[in-house]
A and B are shown apart, each in its own frame.
Chain A
Amino acid sequence: MKSDVSPSAVQPRSASRRAFLRNIPVVTAAAASPFPTMAAARGKHQWAMLIDVRKCIGCQACTVSCIQENAVPEGSFRTVVSTYSVKLTDAAQPAGTYMLPRLCNHCDNPPCIPVCPVAATFKRDDGIVVVDGDRCVGCAYCVQACPYDARFINHDTNKADKCTFCAHRVDAGLLPACVETCVGGARIFGDINDAEGELARRLKAAQPQLKVLKPELDTAPRVFYIGLDERFAGKVEGQGTLWKPRAHHG
């Protein structure tokens, strides 16, 4: 099955590129932050996601809905909420829980694309990184190149697989399944070109505390975080999980 989908069919709700740029208050501050000032470089829409970690309750509803929506095989995940027990030194209770939803970052400078030997993985005009399932040879080079461990080989299709921001839903004017089902409202999805849209407004409001994963790699992720603890922005230093999904080699 070709996981690539046609360019977005949804009409923009937002203002034009010029209006968007005019609305950016402090250009220098924006340049120093991960805020997507490059947003309008291509298509009308530039889809992105904001995750407010403070609102995530770790219920994994997003994980389950993604599996259901995208028929993700058992043992594989396009998104998951990584959960950590963190020792507390400044509170009465000994430890707290930290939740970090993870998914494909739909980078603006995606390391997975140049390595693909058959140009099967590409970035759509609307910023979504997808895999052309008709062309993919399953070499897994993109799996190696992704710094976020967001890709895997789907053992049902024997092709590279990953989050597509539910492109098939987005093209139909719907939200990604994980956003739709997020109990705490932690995931905000939208068009960063739509200056009046919730995503752009929230990004702008949160700008001082906006972070991305592994910023040092210059991948320019399109998944932004509020409340991202520095200790979890890269490879986490800690004790590894004992739980492992059942290996599935269908």
Chain B
Amino acid sequence: MNANVVETINVAREVAWLPWAVQYFFLIGLSYGAYLLSLPGVVFRRPGWEGISRLALVGALVCGIAAPVALLADLHQPGRFWHFYAYFTPTSWMSWGAFFIPVYLGGLVLYAWLAFRPELARHGAAGGKLAGVARMLAYGGHDSRGALRVAALVAFVGAALVALYTGAELAVVKARPLWNTPLLPLQFFVTAFAGAVGLVLVFNRLSVRDAVATRRLADVLAITQLIALVLGAVWLVLGLTGVSPTHARALAEVGPSANWQLAAVWAVSATVATLLLAWKWPGSGLLIGLLALHSAWMMRWSIFIGGQEVPKTGAGYYSYSLPLGPEGLLGIIGTAGLCIFLYVLITTVLPLDRLASTGTPKAGA
């Protein structure tokens, strides 16, 4: 800070991308990450991955369906969402995103339906809650491997495009040096995938507590944390050395801020703690799962909300305080509530215990 200049009058621009945007990027990231985790067991039928992949697919569905609701809520004119389709603008990543989301979600829902049809039929035959609905959804309960692979491929293309656009949408914004770094899309992807691993760890803990699955997921999580730390170190080195002017600008912008220094220490500490726990104490499934989810959310909060606290022209930083209404805390709680509702709905006809135990050796944890 230059003590020779004191700003006495200026405009403090308020945050324009609200916590809804954080929720969207968090949930859609968890969704495509969980979708990727569903592939080894559901599509490729790799031994030991069946339960993990089925839990992951439930996670991908829950987060994937909830995410666009948060995105719509972040629009200040949500009723005009159809304008995205009526006025396609190829120069805008957001415009492309409006088309990528339905590709991903359409493929995901179809893939999940094809994957879970036999399970739905079993639930329908066994009776219990919503058995009639399960029978109807099963629509015969056939296991159509060919169709499943096609749907998974569509979802994969959609997931890749969603991962690309969500990263690029911010990375192209030159006005915000913190966002305008080529590493940001990679950092979004890695933390999203890590968060998805965390979600499946939590699902595993809520259902069969499969120790083998926990260990397998802990190994994957440790690798993601290592990659996240390497990416962070590369970001810092590029900024400190000035090799990359964009990273140097980003670092210069947030480096002097005590809030940002705290956020950086927090992020590194959480990542190192998750890495060490996953590596040395893989049985800590619930703890490392929650830590990974927390890191994925905090990263997005810092980038979105923290990024908008940096004035583009004015001195110092804007200060953001979370409103309690729909544009703030209520939006975050509401999105979480929607996820819980979807989770309850889906797991009523597709109980996690049954999904997780299929084809995996059970053990107490």
- Seen from chain A, the residues whose Cβ lies within 8 Å of a Cβ on chain B are 58, 60, 77, 80-87, 97, 102, 111, 113-120, 135-141, 143-149, 152-153, 158-159, 213, 217, 231, 234-241, 243-245, 247, 249
B89 near A82: Cβ-Cβ < 8 Å: no
Flag if A234 contacts B9 (CB, 8 Å): no
- Interface members, chain B 286-327 (any A CB < 8 Å): 308, 311-319, 323, 325, 327
Complex CA distance for A140 and B5, rounded to whole angstroms: 31
Among the 9-residue stretches B90-98, B188-196, B259-267, the one with 4 or more Cβ atoms under 8 Å from chain A is B90-98
In the complex the two chains form, is A239's CB within 8 Å of B7's CB?
Answer: yes
Partner of A147, one of B5, B6, B179, B312: B312
Tell me, yes or no, whether B241 is within 8 Å of chain A by CB. no
Q: Tell me whether B362 is interfacial, beta carbon within 8 Å.
A: no
Report whether B172 and A149 are in contact in the complex, using a CB–CB cutoff of 8 Å.
no
Q: Which of B42-50, B72-80, B134-142 contacts A (4 or more CB under 8 A)?
A: B72-80
Would A234 and B77 count as touching, CB distance under 8 A?
Answer: no
B318 contacts across to A, CB distance below 8 A = 240, 244
A114–B92 touching, CB < 8 Å: yes
- Residues on B with C-beta less than 8 A from A111 are 174-175
Residue pair B253, A235 in contact (C-beta under 8 Å)? yes
Q: Are B91 and A85 in contact (CB under 8 A)?
A: no
* Residue interface mask B1-13, A partner, CB < 8 A = 1: 1111111111111
Q: What are the residues of chain A within 8 A of B74 when measuring CB–CB?
A: 139
21 chain-A/chain-B pairs, Cβ below 8 angstroms: A80-B10, A82-B314, A84-B7, A84-B315, A86-B4, A115-B92, A116-B89, A137-B84, A138-B80, A143-B16, A144-B179, A149-B11, A235-B311, A236-B5, A236-B7, A236-B315, A238-B1, A238-B2, A238-B4, A239-B316, A244-B319
Contact partners of A249 in chain B: CB under 8 A:
323, 325, 327
Q: Within 8 Å CB of A102, what residues of B?
A: 11, 313
- Residue on A nearest B77 in the bound complex, by CB: A138
Cβ contacts under 8 Å, A81 to chain B: 9
Q: Chain B residues near A244 (CB, 8 Å)?
A: 12, 318-319
Given contacts A114-B89, A119-B87, A241-B8, 14 further A-B contacts (CB under 8 A): A83-B9, A118-B84, A118-B89, A135-B83, A137-B75, A139-B74, A139-B76, A140-B16, A144-B175, A213-B313, A238-B5, A238-B315, A240-B315, A244-B319
Q: B14: CB under 8 A from chain A?
A: yes
Of the residues B92, B314, B325, contact of A240 by C-beta under 8 Å: B314
CB of B81 closer than 8 Å to a CB of A = yes
**B residues lining the A interface (CB < 8 Å):** 1-14, 16-17, 74-77, 80-81, 83-84, 86-87, 89, 91-95, 97-98, 169, 172-176, 179, 253, 308, 311-319, 323, 325, 327
The number of residue pairs between A and B whose CB atoms lie closer than 8 Å in the complex comes to: 191
User: Which residues from A are CB-within-8-Å of B179?
Assistant: 144
Contacts of A139 in B (CB 8 A): 74-76, 94
What are the residues of chain A within 8 A of B9 when measuring CB–CB?
Answer: 58, 60, 80-83, 241, 243
Going nearest first, the 7 A-B pairs with the smallest beta carbon separation are A240-B316, A138-B76, A238-B5, A140-B16, A114-B91, A117-B95, A147-B175
Main secondary structure of the interface of B (DSSP, over half): loop
When the two chains form their complex, are residues A235 and B312 in contact, meaning their CB atoms are under 8 A apart? yes
Which B-chain residue is minimally distant from A80 (CB atoms)?
Answer: B11
Residues of chain B lying within 8 A (CB to CB) of residue A77: 11
Please state if A158 and B3 are interface contacts (CB–CB under 8 Å): no
Minimum Cβ distance to chain A for residue B100 (Å): 12
Q: Which residue of chain B has its CB nearest to the CB of A97?
A: B8
CA distance A247 to B14 in the complex (A): 8
When the two chains form their complex, are residues B16 and A241 in contact, meaning their CB atoms are under 8 A apart? no
For B325, the chain A residues whose CB sits under 8 A away are: 249
- In the complex, what distance in Å separates the CA atom of A120 from the CA atom of B76? 14
A240 to B2, CA, bound (A): 10
Rounded to whole Å, the gap between the CB of A230 and the closest CB of chain B is 12
Residues of A within 8 A of B13 (CB): 143, 149, 152
Chain A residues contacting B1 (CB-CB under 8 Å) are 237-239
Looking at the assembled complex, report how far the CB atom of A138 sits from the nearest CB atom of chain B, in whole angstroms. 3
Contact A158 B77 (CB under 8 A): yes
A115 lies within 8 A of B3 (CB): no
| Chain A residues within 8 Å of B11, by CB | 77, 80, 82, 102, 149, 245
CA distance A158 to B94 in the complex (A): 18
Chain A residue at minimum C-beta to C-beta distance from B21: A140
Name A249's closest neighbour in chain B (CB-CB): B327
When the two chains form their complex, are residues B5 and A153 in contact, meaning their CB atoms are under 8 A apart?
no
CB distance from A156 to the nearest CB of B (A): 11
Asked if B7 and A159 make an inter-chain contact with CB atoms under 8 angstroms apart, the answer reads no
Contact: A146 with B95, CB < 8 Å? no
CB-defined contacts of A141 to chain B, threshold 8 Å: 92, 94, 169
Kindly identify which residue among B7, B8, B14 contacts A152, using a CB–CB cutoff of 8 Å: B14
Interface pair B3/A239, CB less than 8 Å apart: yes
Most A CB within 10 A of own CB, among B77, B169, B308:
B77
Task: Indicate if the CB atoms of A138 and B75 lie closer than 8 Å.
Answer: yes
Cβ–Cβ < 8 Å partners of A147 in chain B:
174-175, 312-313
Interchain CA distance A153-B77 in the complex, whole Å:
11
Most B Cβ at <10 Å: residue of A77, A118, A148, A244: A118
